Structure 1
Amino acid sequence: MLRRTFVRTGEPAPGTAFAGPLRWGAAGADASRGGLAVLSGPYGPPRPPDANGVVLPEGFSSRVVARTGHRVGGVLWHPAPGDGACFPDGDGWVYVSNSEIPLLGGATAIRFRPDGSVHGAYRVLSGTDLNRAGAATPWKTWLSCEETARGQVFECDPYGVRAAMPRLAMGRFRHAGAACDPVNRVVYLTEDEPDGCLYRFVPACWGDLTTGRLEVLCVLPDDGSTAWRRVPNPAALLEATRHQVDAAHRFQGGGACHYSAGVCLFASGDDGRVWAYDTLRERLETVETAEAGDLMELVLAGPGRTAAPFLRVEGHPGSEITGPALSPDGARLYFSSQRGRRDDAAGTDGVTYEITGPFPR
């Protein structure tokens, strides 16, 4: 199943965006589907595909900023670009992108000038395994997570000054998504297993992920309320983290994760659901169920559980959209086609785009 991807709009601070599956209704139609009101596009009807195969509304344009195996800013762009985020850099900005390949994964950063031209590029993490998931922290670091059985979370400096460090207390499992909650001072983590869990990491000191406790979400059978239980051994030396707490709630796979306005949104990849954990009410509910489709689309998810189409990439039959992120001024949107035009599991044809146009700011 190809993922339709949607991004949250109206964020207090651009940088990262939520990517997950979304079932889309008829073009231009209003509908209510699984808790999301599906609305016609806010920017008008789509135009024909541009020279890059990107379908956009009037007033928007695309450009390719990086291709797998081609140099950008003096660095070869990595295969299988995954999650990404933007960070302020003086009067410019930096876009960081993961690489979801075995053993040689890691993450690469591109530095942009104020006019959007590329000022340079560099690696911020190397020699790690299947780095798909990631999250920007409020203290301007990048969490790059391995999607392997005992995968680690690495905290990276997006500016390339400090060495990346593993954060072992955050747990070793098949990481699928991550999101920081600055209100409750935790980091949510999803797990890509058929019986995966939702975790949260509670640092001993907010802003320092070296120590803390890893907890797993449990749903109480009597009234559907939730509780968090500590995972005894986050290093998972003898037993997988998801098997250490009997009451842990299971999800059919794990996907992208995003926190906004008191709600943690995350996807369960195998059944195509989008879930919402309400941190105030401490309740869990399903807000959307995806269906298989042959379109690679990006959809805007706004306030009040509304959604509207924005762009589509054509001619990439085996790929998916990854790493959507807004520049700090909200004027530019970055994302990747992970495998590009070739249906290549290794992602050797990945393409990273920039979209400009009349975004609200």
Structure 2
Amino acid sequence: MLRRTLMRTGGLAAGAAFAGSLWQGAAQALPLRAPGPYGALGAPDVNGVALPPGFTGRVVARTGRRVGGVLWHPAPDGGACFPDGDGWIYVSNSEVPLLGGATAIRFGPGGAVRGAYRILSGTNLNCAGGRTPWNTWLSCEEILRGRVFECDPYGSRAAMPRLAMGRFRHEAAACDPDRQVIYLTEDEPDGCFYRFRPTHWGDLTAGRLDVLCASSAGAVTWQRVPNPAALLEATRHQVDAARRFNGGEGCHYADGVCFFTTKGDNRVWGYDTESERLEIVYDADAPLRVVDNLTGTPGGDLYVAEDTGNMEINLITPDRVVTPFLRVDGHPKSEITGPAFSPDGRRLYFSSQRGVRGDTAGTDGVTYEVTGPFRR
């Protein structure tokens, strides 16, 4: 219910849930500015990360250096955590051409690295993705006719392409176990927002791909994409009524709402799956800039990463307070990627994709862990 509270106290929902015109009311969807729940950021630590009081950070991996027995990949991007006995696993994509893929780090109960291994190799520009309820990782290729690969974070089974989920410039995925669908974003200036309904929940080899179509009053409909794997006609051009989004990025589902970001217009959106209405949750120039990956907590907080900007992860609370949670100093040409919480909610993982040097090949990527009194 906290997710739905956030939706109904922001944007067009102020005064009457989802009332009025979504497009005419965009200027109303401004964040409340107030002190965040954790207080102001302190000075940067030895790793250049500024955090609120009570939080500490460390570096867990650097591109080109060994972690858990393997070389950490370049350009670390989307990520997720998975339970693993008395510990957990953090999975991270590699957004580089031809040699992308994904790597997993296994942690013990105290946070010590127990090992690391590749779970996907030989793929192309693996950007974001999403975790499934059956504990697999969906790694998405951000290329023309890109694919979604379902990966085993435990390293026992080979990764498999899931072509029924469409061939387009994939960004992120978010699973909705209540309606048994997966929402998908597309990183194009005229991209779309999709949902995939598997023929059998838990098996992604076959199913139906729909595209969101919106009216001017916020209500949406869905239409089937005729040929998700078409060679000549782009997926986003197959349904004339499809709603266009300017650069789809991160995607996160919880409590009946799927949140997603669009970097081209710096917006955070919320799709209410029960009422089938679309809402603008955040539409402002500050403090959150160039929105990208996002994740959330069971208590209803959203953590939204910035692509460039001033390299922050911003917190959006259920009462729409928007405030910086952390900032990485000295990485002006990089971006924040892969935010994900450990299963117990006490640790947050993320990366600076291009690090201090900021080269486009991502050879200076850094992956961090932050520990502290997170609200859960």
Q: Same fold (TM over 0.5)?
A: yes
1:236 corresponds to 2:223: no
TM-score, normalised via structure 1 length: 0.88
Partner SS state of residue 256, structure 1: strand
1:177 corresponds to 2:172: yes
- Which residue matches 1:264? 258
Partner SS state of residue 169, structure 1: helix
Partner SS state of residue 175, structure 2: strand
* RMSD of Structure 2 on Structure 1 (CA): 1.7
Deviations 1:48-80 (A, max 9, x none): 111000001122111100000000001000011
Q: Which runs of 4+ in 1 moved over 4 A?
A: none
2:127/2:140 contact within 8 Å kept? yes
Once the two structures are TM-superposed, the CA of residue 224 in structure 1 deviates from its matched residue by 4.3
> Cα–Cα, structure 1 residues 305 and 294, in superposed 2: closer, same or farther, change >3 Å?
closer
Q: Which amino acid aligns with 2:143?
A: T
1:217/1:226 contact within 8 Å kept? yes
> What is the distance in 1 between the residues matched to 2:356 and 2:28?
31
Deviations 1:213-267 (A, max 9, x none): 000001135x442110000101022211011111111111211111122111111
Match of 2:320 among 288, 305, 314: 305
Q: Which amino acid aligns with 2:225?
A: V
Once the two structures are TM-superposed, the CA of residue 343 in structure 1 deviates from its matched residue by 2.1
- Which residue matches 2:36? 41
Once the two structures are TM-superposed, the CA of residue 310 in structure 1 deviates from its matched residue by 1.3
TM-score, normalised via structure 2 length: 0.85
Q: Which amino acid aligns with 2:262?
A: S
Q: Identity rate of aligned residues, in percent?
A: 70
Q: Which structure 2 residues correspond to residues 211-360 of structure 1 after superposition, within 5 A?
A: 211-220=206-215, 223-291=217-285, 294-360=309-375
> What is the distance in 2 between the residues matched to 1:309 and 1:224?
29
> What is the distance in 2 between the residues matched to 1:154 and 1:243?
23
- Which residue matches 2:144? 149
Q: Which runs of 5+ in 2 are unaligned?
A: 4-26, 290-307
Partner SS state of residue 187, structure 1: strand
Q: Give the paired residue count.
A: 331
1:40/1:309 contact within 8 Å kept? no
> What is the distance in 2 between the residues matched to 1:154 and 1:263?
24
Q: Which amino acid aligns with 2:332?
A: P
- 276-285 or 197-206, which deviates more: 276-285
Q: Which runs of 5+ in 1 are unaligned?
A: 1-9, 12-31
> Cα–Cα, structure 1 residues 290 and 339, in superposed 2: closer, same or farther, change >3 Å?
farther
> Cα–Cα, structure 1 residues 165 and 237, in superposed 2: closer, same or farther, change >3 Å?
same
Deviations 1:166-213 (A, max 9, x none): 001000000122111111111000111111100000011111111100
> Cα–Cα, structure 1 residues 290 and 153, in superposed 2: closer, same or farther, change >3 Å?
farther
- Which residue matches 2:47? 52
Match of 1:96 among 57, 69, 91: 91
> What is the distance in 2 between the residues matched to 1:180 and 1:271?
25
Q: Which amino acid aligns with 1:338?
A: Q
- Which residue matches 2:71? 76
Once the two structures are TM-superposed, the CA of residue 294 in structure 1 deviates from its matched residue by 4.3
Partner SS state of residue 249, structure 2: coil
2:30/2:283 contact within 8 Å kept? no
